[in-house]
Structure formats: structure tokens, C-alpha cells
Amino acid sequence: MLKEFRDFAARGNVIDLAIGVIIGAAFGKIVGSLVDDVVMPPIGLLLGRVDFKDFFVALNGATYASLAEAKAAGAPTLNYGVFVNTVIQFLIVAFVVFLLVKQINRLKTQPAPPTEDARDCPFCISRISRKATRCPFCTAELRAAV
């Protein structure tokens, strides 16, 4: 069983996945910093010098100057400002992934157009040679092409 696990873990796909997860975690920290330290401060400045992290509702009805103060008092809070930051982080990550996938798809080679020397198998609709008398995909016997 140990040998099977080693063979499984040593496969390229598993290692690629592990590398992707590690890079994804680091990318998440970069995006978090981008949102918290670059995007949200100007937006907060435009809205009157507010910090989105301090947008919360204390569920016990008391008033607190900041989220840190409410947490220090042990008050239950609904942190909608932190949620807004998280949604913005998600949108940035989703947009970057979209751009990445779009570029990867653009770089993939397009399938070659069908040649004149090919026809469709009438049984499985696979492209086969005009000279074929048996389909290599479904193994159906074919009439010789005229």
C-alpha cells in the first residue's frame, strides 16, 4: 500500500496540483494586501475617511468606536465591512483567473481543418480516411468510397 501511495503522490498531476495550491495561497495573500492596502484606502477616503473594516453592527445593541473595540468587549458583531473586502478580493482573483484561462486557451493549438481525403463514418460520425473499409473508431464495415 505504501508503494501505491508513493506512486500516486509522485505522479505529475499530484505534484502540479500541490504547486498550484501553494502558489494560489501566496497569490491570495498578495490579492488580500492589494485590496486592504491599495484599493480600499482610496475608496475609504472618497467616502469620508472611513475604514471598511470598521463597518459592523454590534448585535448586543451597544455602540463601539471600532470593530477591535467591540471584539475586545466580547460583543457579537455582524462584520459587513470585512465581507465587502472579501467580496472585492474574490472579484479580483476571479478576474485574474479569467484572464489567465483566456490566455492559455488562446495559446492552445487549434485542430487542423478536415482534409479532403477524409469523410464521416455514417455510424459514429468520426472523421476517417476516404479509403477506409472499416471504421477504426466503431469498427463498422463501410462501403468503399466512390
Terminal-to-terminal C-alpha distance of the chain: 58
The model's pTM is: 0.54
pLDDT of residue 77: 92
Q: Give the helix/strand (H/E) hosting 127.
A: strand 127-129
pLDDT of residue 12: 66
For residue 140, give the C-alpha cell: 463498422
- The rounded average pLDDT for each run of 10 residues, N- to C-terminus, in the chain (146 residues) is 78 77 87 83 81 84 87 91 86 85 81 74 89 90 70
What are the sequence ranges of the domains in the chain?
A: 12-108, 112-146
**Cα–Cα distance between 24 and 37 in angstroms, integer?**
19
- Find cell 492596502 and name the residue: 37
Question: In the CATH hierarchy, which fold is given to the domain comprising 12-108?
Answer: 1.10.1200
pLDDT of residue 112: 66
